[in-house]
Amino acid sequence: MWDEGATPRQYAPEMSDTERVEALYVIRLWREAGGESSEGWRGYVEHVVSKQRLYFSDLTDVIEFIRLRCEN
């Protein structure tokens, strides 16, 4: 479980900067017009470096988008 007082480094194994590979993503969420409608939340995830973007209404699509890019 995430401890709000902890830094991300406390959850990652120690490694030097030369070993670490990082990827940066932006996730933006919004609720469709109508507020509490059955449509729910929508959003997009964008890989910052490549500018590839996926619009989604299901969070499992976000995980798949990131997973596919991390496997390369």
User: Given a cut of 80, is residue 22 above it in pLDDT?
Assistant: yes
| Domain boundaries, position 66 | 42-72
Q: How many domains does the chain have?
A: 1
In a domain, 7, yes or no: no
Q: Considering Cα of 4, then 45, then 62, then 64, what sign does the dihedral take?
A: negative
Question: Does any domain span residue 64?
Answer: yes
pTM above 0.85, yes or no: no
CB 65 within 8 A of CB 71: no
Residue 72 counted as domain residue: yes
Could you tell me if residue 4 is inside a domain? no
Both structure tokens of 62 = 């976000």
Residue 33 located in a structural domain = no
Cα dihedral 62, 63, 66, 69, rounded to 10, equals: -120
Q: What is the pLDDT of residues 28-63, one digit of tens each?
A: 999 877 656 556 889 999 999 999 999 999 989 999
